[in-house]
Amino acid sequence: MKNVAKARLATAWLDGCSGCHMSLLDIDELLLTLAGKVTIVFGPLVDAQHFPEGVDVALVEGAVSSQDDLKLAQAIRERSKVVVALGDCAVTSNVPSMRNTIAPSRLLERVYVSGVDLHPGVPEEGVPKLLRAATPLHEVIKVDVHVPGCPPSAAAIAHVVTELLAGRKPELAGTAVKFG
């Protein structure tokens, strides 16, 4: 087999439940094909600490909810050719957005102070500041492909990744892909 240059694939986990990553792992035997075609250079599945340069495809799960999410989203956009909003949280802000009608200070007070008996206090060290609202990815950076679903089916992810690696823009209209 010829040694062709592998595509550089990154995944990212912002404000989400990691269900989209589970669905990515659920593409079964396509994982073997993928392993021959891509190197995973960033994400919860590998050990990289910083988002690298020269990424071909970035699959981004989760809404943009904190300062860290925002910084990572911006780095992803700067360093990736194709950015995919993967799943409803990245596409619509979904469940994370259910906090958006409550000011972050009130929310944290309710959860970490008035809502607990032991050691009340809002954690400040080692955790990023919450943004005023959790927003979809495309409200902070340009997104090339939206894949809704909670989570998107393994078939949808397989279709999107296969099409992108073949250099085509995946067409999702008229398929089983939907919100929720």
Partner 1 sequence: MPNRISIRIDGELVQGERGQTIFEAAQSNGKFIPGLCQFKGLSTVGACRLCIVEVQGVNRLIPSCTTPAQDGMAVITRSARLNEYRKQALELLFAEKNHVCAVCVSNNHCELQAYAQRLGVTNVRYAYRYPKLPVDMSHPRFVIDHNRCVLCTRCVRVCNEVEGAYVWGVASRGVGSRIACEMDRAWGSASSCTNCGKCVQVCPTGALAEKGFAAEEMIKRQDMVERLATIRGVMQPGGAR
Q: Can you give the binding site for partner 1, defined by CB under 8 A?
A: 85, 88, 91-95, 97-98, 100-101, 133, 135-136, 138-139, 143, 146-148, 150, 172-174, 176-180
Residue 41 or 170 with smaller CB distance to partner 1: 170
Start-to-end C-alpha separation, the chain: 41
Going from the C-alpha of 101 to that of each of 13, 133, 154, the distances in angstroms are 23, 8, 33
Residue 41 or 89 with smaller CB distance to partner 1: 89
Q: Specify which residues 63 forms β-bridges with.
A: 15
CB of 59 to partner 1, least distance (A): 15
CB of 12 to partner 1, least distance (A): 18
d(CA 16, CA 88): 9
Residue 9 or 133 with smaller CB distance to partner 1: 133
CB of 146 to partner 1, least distance (A): 4
Residue 41 or 59 with smaller CB distance to partner 1: 59
d(CA 26, CA 3): 27
CB of 19 to partner 1, least distance (A): 9
Helix (H) or strand (E) segment spanning residue 80: strand 80-86
CB of 5 to partner 1, least distance (A): 30
d(CA 5, CA 95): 39
Residue 41 or 152 with smaller CB distance to partner 1: 152
The residues near 87 (Cβ < 8 Å, ≥ 6 apart) are 16, 19, 20, 23, 61, 62, 94, 147, 148, 149, 150, 151, 152
